[in-house]
Amino acid sequence: MAEMEIKFDVNGKQVRVSAEPNKTLLSVLRENLGLTGTKDGCSSGDCGACVVMLDDRPVNSCMVLAPQAEGSSVVTIEGLASNGELHPVQRAFGETWAFQCGFCTPGILVSCYALLESNDDPTREEILTAVAGNFCRCTGYQGVVKAVEQAAAEIRAANKSGGGS
């Protein structure tokens, strides 16, 4: 199959890749761009390990063909930190033991990041719903809830003191 050129933004940087049009966004991120933080757990949209933001929406990148990203903006786990500083939810994950093996973490973190972008005071139910498509075999998601609650509190405090963006 002939390759085609695809242009899109990844983590704030414009990229141009040549890929066969039947390649998934996941394989382009991992193979063409070397962004191996995003994981492949099933290649069938069941596990959520490959969740990335595509134009402000969390998607399973194994279920998106790379050409669909043309002109879009993609955020992966590698793009959650800004100016060398971890996003509050990244820091909270480490502190609350929201992961064990860590393989599902990139996808779960992006799902949680998506939630916090639109809701800085989520309920337990809202948090669990946000990660309902993310499979984690190690934890029972209790740490994830704690981490998101902790990050949300931090974000609210920062916004209140005017330090938020």
Partner 1 sequence: MTDSAVVGQWTAAPGAEEIVTGKARYCPDIQLPGLLCGKLLYSPHARARIRKLDVSKAREMPDVYAVITHADIPGENSYLYAEPDQPLLVVDEVRFQGDAVAAVAAKDERTADAALQAIEVEYEVLPGIFDPLEAMKPGADPIVHGEDNIMMSKMYRSGDVEAAIASADVVIENTYRTQWAEHAFLETEGGVGLVGDDGGITVYSSCQAPHRDRMQIARALGIPESMVRVITPYIGGAFGAKDEAHVQIHAGLLAHAAQRPVHLIRDRRESMLTHVKRHPMIVEYTTAATKEGKLLAVKARVIADAGPYTNSTHEVLNKFGEFIGGPYKVENVEVEKIGVRTNNPITGAFRGFGAPQAAFVYESQMDDLARKLGLDPLEIRLLNGVETGTKMYTGVVVREGTAMKASLEKAAEMIGWEKRDQVEREPKKHLRRGFGMATILKGSGLGRGLADHAGVVLEMHRDGSVVLQSAAADMGQGIITVMAQLAAERLGIDMSSVRVVRADTAKSPDAGGSCASRQAMVSGNAVLEAADTIRDTLLSLAAGKTKIEKDRLDLKAGSLTVDGERHEISVKDLAQRASNWGYPLHAESTYQFEYPTDVPEVTYRYSQEVFQFCTQAAQVLVDCETGQVTVERLIAVHDAGKMINPGGVFGQIEGGVAQGIGYALTEELIVDEGHTQNPSLENYVIPMALDIPQLEMEVLEIPEPIAAPLGAKGIAESPIIPTAPAIRNAIYDAIDKPLYELPMTPERVLPVPDVSD
Residues in the chain: 165
- By CB under 8 A, tell whether 77 contacts partner 1: yes
For tokens 């199959």, name the residue: 1
Binding segment for partner 1 (CB under 8 A), chosen from 2-10, 87-95, 114-122, 151-159, is: 87-95
CB atoms within 10 A of CB 47: 22
Contact of 78 with 13, CB cutoff 8 Å: no
CB-wise, 73 or 91, nearer to partner 1? 91
Contact of 116 with 155, CB cutoff 8 Å: yes
Contact of 111 with 55, CB cutoff 8 Å: no
Q: Which of 55, 56, 70, 95 binds partner 1 (CB under 8 A)?
A: 95
Contact of 10 with 76, CB cutoff 8 Å: yes
Q: Which of 102, 121, 123, 164 binds partner 1 (CB under 8 A)?
A: 102
Q: Which of 4, 15, 67, 103 binds partner 1 (CB under 8 A)?
A: 103
- By CB under 8 A, tell whether 80 contacts partner 1: yes
- By CB under 8 A, tell whether 96 contacts partner 1: yes
- By CB under 8 A, tell whether 124 contacts partner 1: yes
- By CB under 8 A, tell whether 106 contacts partner 1: yes
Contacts of residue 76, Cβ cutoff 8 Å, sequence gap at least 6: 10, 11, 29, 35, 37, 38, 52, 53, 106, 110
Query: DSSP 3-state assignment of 51?
Result: strand
- By CB under 8 A, tell whether 61 contacts partner 1: no
- By CB under 8 A, tell whether 24 contacts partner 1: no
Q: Which of 138, 157, 159, 164 binds partner 1 (CB under 8 A)?
A: 138
Q: Which of 6, 10, 49, 66 binds partner 1 (CB under 8 A)?
A: 49
